[in-house]
Amino acid sequence: MPDARVLVVDDEENILAMLTTTLRFAGFVVASAATGSEALERAREFRPEVIVLDVMLPDVDGFEVCRRLRRDGLDAPVLFLTARDAREDKVAGLTLGGDDYVTKPFDLDELVARIRVLLKRGRSVRQAGERLRAGRVELDPDTHEVWSGGELVDLSATEFQLLHYLMLNAGRVLSKAQILDHVWKFDFQGDSGIVETYVYYLRRKLDGPDGQLIRTVRGAGYLLRTAT
């Protein structure tokens, strides 16, 4: 993806230099920052398409940086770099609007591959056609807008991709493996827990008082109900 803009944020000088050089060699346009405050400023000026964001920063941590960026309306996918591999830390980052995570030390080829996946997701071709509807939820694939009960719902790029895939297959049970393959297009080293996390986000944002839109089919996967 030529000229794709990537912002790299890390307070370790050697890691920052290594990532910047690697990503530029891979064809990306790269900006860098070493602190949380600098990251916020660069993001507003540079308008990155993907942000590679270290969690442990000297002033404002990566989670808070992500929170402020989302509050400011910047919806570029965020890939967290973390030395902490506890599941609760990863879920915390995703809950704040992050899209992926890599635990240090990491493989550069894997990191570049994940960035490309996030870019494809953010630049996904919008399919022309009628709006999709399931129960109280309506999705416009052209404008990437979603309504629940007539009210506009703010979804991240990943949440939209997941909902779009579920709605295209409404009434059909989809396994976690199928969802990972079509939405994330990367195997996450077998971590299907990310699917559970994002299904939870969608339920929290879209479910009305009349029941769950997305039903868990034990041992099989998830089914988006055509009516609620």
Q: Which of 31-40, 90-99, 142-151, 203-212 has the lowest mean pLDDT?
A: 90-99
Say if residues 228 and 135 touch (Cβ distance below 8 Å).
yes
Q: What is the pLDDT of residue 70?
A: 82
Q: What is the band of 39 on the pLDDT scale with cuts at 50, 70, 90?
A: very high
Q: Which residues contact 208 (CB under 8 A, 6 or more apart)?
A: 135, 136, 148, 149, 228
Hunting for tokens 């890691």 — which residue is that? Answer: 15
Q: Which of 17-31, 123-137, 159-173 has the lowest mean pLDDT?
A: 123-137
Q: For residues 95 and 86, what is the distance between their CA atoms, to the nearest angstrom? A: 15
Q: What is the pLDDT of residue 128?
A: 42
What single string gives the DSSP state of each residue in 146-193?
EEETTEEE---HHHHHHHHHHHHTTTSEE-HHHHIIIII-S-GGG-TH
| Distant-in-sequence contacts of 13-20, Cβ < 8 A, 24+ apart | 15/54, 15/81, 18/108, 19/52, 19/111
Q: What is the band of 6 on the pLDDT scale with cuts at 50, 70, 90?
A: very high
Mean pLDDT of 110-127: 73
pLDDT for 59 beyond 50: yes
Instruction: Output phi, psi for 208, to 5 deg.
Output: -100, -175
Q: Which of 7-11, 162-166, 177-181, 188-192 has the lowest mean pLDDT?
A: 188-192
Mean pLDDT of 148-153: 88
Tally of residues, the chain? 228
Q: What is the pLDDT of residue 99?
A: 81
Q: For residues 206 and 23, what is the distance between their CA atoms, to the nearest angstrom? A: 37
Instruction: Output phi, psi for 215, to 5 deg.
Output: -100, 135
Q: What is the pLDDT of residue 97?
A: 67
Q: For residues 73 and 152, what is the distance between their CA atoms, to the nearest angstrom? A: 15
Q: Which residues contact 207 (CB under 8 A, 6 or more apart)?
A: 213
pLDDT for 125 beyond 50: no
Which domains does the chain possess?
5-126 (3.40.50.2300), 132-224 (1.10.10.10)
Q: What is the pLDDT of residue 95?
A: 67
